[in-house]
């Protein structure tokens, strides 16, 4: 952890109470009701979750133990048998929802597709049978590297249906990043597409898969299943590569959901931490199903005729939990959009809202800041009157961006749910309930029922109201991660040891700084570890440093986040070159390109600053907080007494 103290400079006093109109039809419709449910859950979390598991989900067999907590390992609903796709699809087929739209999809070029629950069922069963035909068995890890097309969701569900854990890798990641993740999970098969559309160009996904697998570099992968999307010419490797549309003709649509143990692995999803290697966050079946189901139901307050749109990519946890599993488990209509605002259509987001009459819209602060910059005329020239609820996730939202969202998009009538959570937490943890919680711009407000959170110092003592500290969760919850794939020690070290257990009571350390105000509202201030948040994407500074150092010209590198108007943070890299090479713009460009090919375009430094030395402590640790201050162009006023050589700072400043 980098910062000894956490200070908050934000004071925001505006309060917005849910409108009577909204509250009237909401499931949880007053603060009193929230508090009553919260108190009940806090008094006996196990009884609270067990009751919901019983009434909200279908189980093949009931559990024998609600929660088995052997810190830091937890089991929820042990002994229970369940399949999340049964809850997401099959159970709706017995009701009128059979013919309700499960997925509405809009492609970037303007093509579109709607899948009813019955159609989704058929596609998922066929896809699952195709996987079986390629030799996939329960427990085999399957890589998914897909554009935002319905088959991405279908592929995830097909894996879950037969008990093969999926490992989705965001389509913006490079071949190298894909290969590392496939190898870490020993993936047996990769599902991909020829390409996807992104800002009027084709992202050649299959080509990246070929690169990742070249020279037998991912030896566990036996087959590649390819969906046709962009239809450019493609090299298919005989025996290894298979077209989905060919297999589809040969397989039946009969594939019953495999009864899984509640604690069987549902998926692995990689995220950045404070070391160079991404962590494979492991989620299991029953608890995750319940947690995403309940949070979707109460936070988005989905009603049966709603069109719900979460703009995330399925490559991130938000896509997993709030495009696919949570909404479908609730029998909702979930919209998927392939495109992004682009010069040829900067207002495309609002076109989609208008076209489908979207009622609930969930996006990220970085997107909102980009919308603000593009101008009010874009949303103002579309019909947004269908919207009734807005949400945000991914990073702290600036109060002014919140107010803009409320005014220009929500027309001052839509509640905003600012939802704090993480890949690790599986679902939303701190959030308003839209019909109940008065909101304050910039605050994620109060914990979800069943979640017991606190702000503590490094000894684990709660800090006073309005004082900064570390955000922790003090009681296990059903959606929490179970381990780091293949590395239980890292799981313990990363989340359970920074704050030492007191009297044998372990707390989950989130890695975020926060404060709690006099009303008990949480204000999340951002990461306290070496993770930066670029446009809502978590990037480990160490990962980017490793990528830079892997370039032959680089001797040493230090990466920090720099405040950015749109992206929240951008990447600044301080680089020491090998030998006495010239500090040229071309080399800086090459290094940026190198990072893109090692990790992905999202990790590209926006600034490279060449230097001869880095500020270090006497024990040789790079003092990143000083580099952060320098990158932001601010004066260094904090303590520099541990710095080994003060003259380095002057040189760095001169070079700026």
Task: For residue 421, state whether it binds ligand WTA (rule: CB under 6 A).
Answer: yes
- Count of residues touching ligand WTA (by CB under 6 A): 23
The 25-64 contact track toward ligand WTA, x by CB under 6 A, reads ----------------------------------------
Evaluate whether 326 touches 427 at the Cβ level (below 8 Å): yes
Closest CA to 425 of 318, 543, 332: 318
**Closer of 293 and 551 to ligand WTA (Cβ):** 293
C-alpha–C-alpha distance, residues 64 and 553, integer Å:
59
Tell me: does residue 423 bind ligand WTA (CB under 6 A): yes
CA–CA separation, 214 vs 458, rounded Å?
Answer: 46
Helix spans in 388-522 (H)? 399-404, 488-496
Residue number with the smallest Cβ distance to ligand WTA: 423
User: Which one of 90-98, 216-224, 389-397, 592-600 is the stretch in contact with ligand WTA (CB under 6 A)?
Assistant: 389-397
Judged by CB under 6 A, the residue of 241, 306, 313, 512 near ligand WTA is: 512
Among 108, 395, 569, 598, binds ligand WTA (CB under 6 A): 395
- Interface region with ligand WTA, contact rule CB under 6 A, candidates 144-152, 170-178, 461-469, 519-527: 519-527
Which of these segments, 97-105, 134-142, 381-389, 421-429, binds ligand WTA (CB under 6 A)?
Answer: 421-429
**Cα 505 to chain center, whole Å?**
28
Give yes or no for a cis peptide into 102 (omega within 30° of 0).
no
Question: Cα separation of 151 and 311, whole Å?
Answer: 17
Q: How far apart are CA 251 and CA 50, in angstroms?
A: 38
Distances (CA, A) of 127 to 133, 223, 225, 259: 10, 14, 10, 18
589 CB-near residues (< 8 Å, 6+ apart): none
The whole-angstrom separation of Cα 573 and Cα 607 is: 6
Nearer to ligand WTA, 140 or 529 (CB): 529
Specify the stretch interacting with ligand WTA by CB under 6 A; choose among 21-29, 129-137, 175-183, 420-428.
420-428
Burial 264-284 (b: 16+ CB within 10 A, else e): bbbbbbbbbbbbebbbbbbbb
b/e burial code for range 425-434 (CB count within 10 A of at least 16 → b): bbbbbbbbbb
Which of 106, 313, 418, 545 touches ligand WTA (CB under 6 A)? 418
The reply on whether position 271 binds ligand WTA by CB under 6 A is yes
Query: Binding residue for ligand WTA (CB under 6 A) from 26, 393, 534, 587?
Result: 393
Backbone φ and ψ of 181, nearest 5°: -70, -40
Q: Which is nearer to ligand WTA, 129 or 295 (CB)?
A: 295
**Binding of residue 396 to ligand WTA (CB under 6 A):** yes
CA dist 28 and 299 (Å) reads 9
Pick the piece of the chain touching ligand WTA (CB under 6 A) from 111-119, 132-140, 412-420, 604-612: 412-420
Does 524 help bind ligand WTA (rule: CB under 6 A)? yes
CA–CA distance, 171 with 227 (Å, rounded to integer): 14
Neighbouring C-beta atoms of residue 147, cutoff 10 Å: 26
* Residue 296 engages ligand WTA in binding (rule: CB under 6 A): no
Site for ligand WTA contains 516 (CB under 6 A): no
Site for ligand WTA in 587-626 (CB under 6 A): none
Q: Least Å distance between CB 490 and ligand WTA?
A: 16
Span 528-587, contacts to ligand WTA by CB under 6 A: 533, 538
> In the structure encoding, which two tokens stand for residue 359, read together?
């009622």
Nearer to ligand WTA, 90 or 569 (CB): 569
Scanning 335-343, 380-388, 526-534, 544-552 for contacts with ligand WTA by CB under 6 A, the matching segment is: 526-534
Q: Cβ 322 to ligand WTA, closest distance in Å?
A: 9
Q: What is the DSSP string of 614-656?
A: --BBTTS-B-HHHHHHHHTT----S--TTBS-THHHHHHHHH-
Footprint on residues 309-348 left by ligand WTA (CB under 6 A): 316-318
Q: How far is the CB of 524 from ligand WTA (least distance, A)?
A: 4
Output the smallest distance, CB 531 to ligand WTA, in A.
Answer: 7
Tell me how far, at minimum, the Cβ of 526 lies from ligand WTA, in Å.
6
The Cα 81–Cα 509 span in angstroms is: 30
Task: Tell me the three state secondary structure of residue 356.
Answer: helix
User: Which of 422, 439, 494, 546 contacts ligand WTA by CB under 6 A?
Assistant: 422
**SS3 assignment, position 363:** strand
Q: Among the candidate windows 200-208, 294-302, 524-532, 549-557, which touches ligand WTA by CB under 6 A?
A: 524-532
Stretch near ligand WTA under the rule CB under 6 A, chosen from 73-81, 114-122, 152-160, 393-401? 393-401
Residues in contact with ligand WTA by CB under 6 A are 271, 316-318, 393-396, 418-423, 444, 510-512, 524, 526-527, 533, 538
């Amino acid at each position: 952890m980098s910062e000894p103290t956490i200070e908050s400079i934000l004071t925001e006093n505006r309060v917005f109470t849910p409108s009577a109109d909204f509250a009237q039809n909401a499931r949880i419709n007053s603060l009193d009701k929230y508090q009553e449910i919260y108190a009940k859950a806090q008094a006996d979390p196990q009884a609270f979750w067990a009751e919901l598991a019983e009434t909200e989900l279908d189980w093949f067999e009931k559990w024998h133990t609600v929660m088995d907590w052997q810190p830091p390992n937890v089991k929820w609903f042990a002994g229970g048998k369940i399949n999340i796709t049964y809850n997401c699809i099959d159970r709706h087929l017995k009701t009128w929802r059979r013919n309700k739209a499960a997925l509405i999809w809009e492609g970037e070029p303007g093509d579109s597709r709607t899948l009813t629950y019955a159609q989704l069922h058929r596609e998922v069963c066929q896809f699952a049978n195709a996987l079986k035909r390629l030799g996939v068995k329960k427990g085999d890890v399957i890589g998914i590297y897909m554009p935002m097309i319905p088959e991405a969701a279908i592929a995830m569900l097909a894996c879950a249906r037969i008990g093969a854990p999926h490992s989705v890798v965001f389509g913006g990641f490079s071949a190298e990043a894909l290969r590392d993740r496939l190898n870490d999970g020993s993936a047996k098969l990769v599902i991909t597409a020829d390409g996807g559309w992104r800002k009027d160009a084709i992202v050649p996904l299959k080509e990246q898969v070929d690169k990742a697998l070249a020279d037998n570099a991912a030896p566990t992968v036996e087959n590649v299943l390819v969906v046709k999307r962009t239809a450019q010419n493609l090299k298919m490797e005989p025996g290894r590569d298979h077209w989905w549309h060919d297999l589809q003709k040969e397989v039946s649509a009969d594939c019953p959901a495999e009864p899984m143990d509640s604690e069987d692995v549902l998926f692995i999803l990689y995220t950045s931490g404070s070391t160079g290697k991404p962590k494979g966050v492991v989620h299991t079946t029953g608890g995750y199903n319940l947690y995403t189901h309940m949070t979707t139901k109460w936070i988005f307050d989905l009603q049966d005729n709603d069109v719900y749109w979460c703009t995330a990519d399925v490559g991130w946890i938000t896509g997993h939990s709030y495009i696919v599993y949570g909404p479908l488990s609730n029998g909702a209509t979930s919209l998927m959009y392939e495109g992004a605002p682009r010069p040829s259509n900067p207002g495309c987001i609002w076109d989609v809202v208008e076209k489908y009459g979207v009622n609930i819209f969930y996006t990220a602060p970085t997107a909102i800041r980009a919308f603000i910059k593009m101008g009010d005329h874009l949303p103002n020239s579309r019909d947004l009157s269908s919207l009734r609820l807005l949400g945000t996730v991914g990073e702290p939202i600036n109060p002014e961006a919140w107010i803009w969202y409320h005014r220009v998009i929500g027309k001052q009538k839509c509640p905003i749910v600012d939802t704090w959570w993480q890949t690790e937490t599986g679902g939303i943890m701190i959030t308003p309930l839209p019909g109940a919680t008065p909101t304050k711009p910039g605050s994620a407000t109060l914990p979800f029922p069943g979640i017991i959170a606190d702000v503590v110092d490094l000894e684990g003592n709660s800090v006073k109201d309005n004082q900064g500290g570390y955000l922790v969760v003090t009681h296990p919850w059903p959606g929490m991660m179970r381990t780091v794939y293949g590395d239980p020690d890292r799981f313990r070290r990363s989340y359970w040891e920074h704050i030492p257990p007191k009297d044998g009571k372990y707390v989950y350390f989130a890695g975020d700084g926060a404060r709690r105000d006099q009303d008990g509202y949480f204000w999340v201030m951002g990461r306290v570890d070496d993770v930066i948040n670029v446009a809502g994407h978590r990037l480990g500074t160490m990962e980017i440093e490793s990528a830079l150092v892997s370039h032959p010209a680089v001797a040493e590198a230090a990466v920090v986040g720099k405040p950015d108007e749109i992206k929240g943070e951008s990447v600044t890299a301080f680089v020491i070159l090998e030998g006495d090479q010239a500090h040229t713009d071309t080399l800086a460009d090459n290094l940026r390109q190198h990072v893109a090919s090692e990790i992905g375009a999202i990790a590209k430094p926006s600034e490279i600053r060449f230097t001869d030395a880095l500020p270090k402590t006497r024990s040789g640790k790079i003092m990143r907080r000083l580099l952060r201050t320098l990158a932001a162009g601010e004066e260094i006023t904090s303590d520099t007494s541990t710095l080994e050589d003060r003259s380095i700072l002057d040189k760095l400043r001169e070079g700026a």
